[in-house]
């Protein structure tokens, strides 16, 4: 079945450090890929997405490129802030035959940024 694997956390960085969170996937079809972020006590917020190979999703300084050849969608940010501390989830979805969709999530990576 479809699956998403992301690096386990927690990832602890100092402010202004470079961030990479690895994400790889296995899918039977051609998925769309997402990064969601969850702040304490809240639901999930879409951070960025990519729908086809070589697409780069970007938002709030975060970027991820859809790499079909390596089945990866690694999240990067050049300079993290304390406010980026959260749990990050990589996810995929396939548009099903009945036009439904459901997300398959990775296990989440907790990021802690220290001042």
Instruction: Judge contact between 84 and 21, C-beta under 8 A.
Output: no
Q: What are phi and psi of 65, to 5 degrees?
A: -115, 130
* Beta carbon of residue 43, minimum distance to another protein (angstroms, whole number): 4
Q: Is 77 in the site for another protein (CB under 8 A)?
A: no
By CB under 8 A, name the one of 25, 36, 66, 88 that touches another protein: 36
Distance CA 71, CA 12 (A): 26
* Beta carbon of residue 78, minimum distance to another protein (angstroms, whole number): 25
Q: Is 102 in the site for another protein (CB under 8 A)?
A: yes
Instruction: Name 41's bridge partners.
Output: none
Q: Is 46 in the site for another protein (CB under 8 A)?
A: yes
Q: How many residues does the chain have?
A: 115
By CB under 8 A, name the one of 35, 93, 109, 113 that touches another protein: 93
């Amino acid at each position: 079945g479809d699956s998403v694997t992301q690096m386990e956390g927690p990832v602890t960085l100092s402010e202004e450090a470079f961030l990479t969170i690895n994400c790889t996937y296995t899918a039977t079809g051609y998925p769309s890929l997402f990064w969601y972020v969850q702040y304490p006590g809240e639901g999930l917020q879409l951070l960025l997405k990519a729908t086809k190979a070589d697409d780069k999703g970007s938002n709030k300084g975060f970027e991820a490129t859809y790499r079909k050849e390596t089945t990866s969608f690694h999240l990067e940010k050049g300079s993290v802030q304390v406010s980026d501390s959260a749990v990050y989830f990589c996810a995929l979805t396939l548009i099903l035959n009945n036009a439904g969709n459901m997300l398959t999530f990775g296990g989440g990576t907790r990021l802690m940024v220290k001042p």
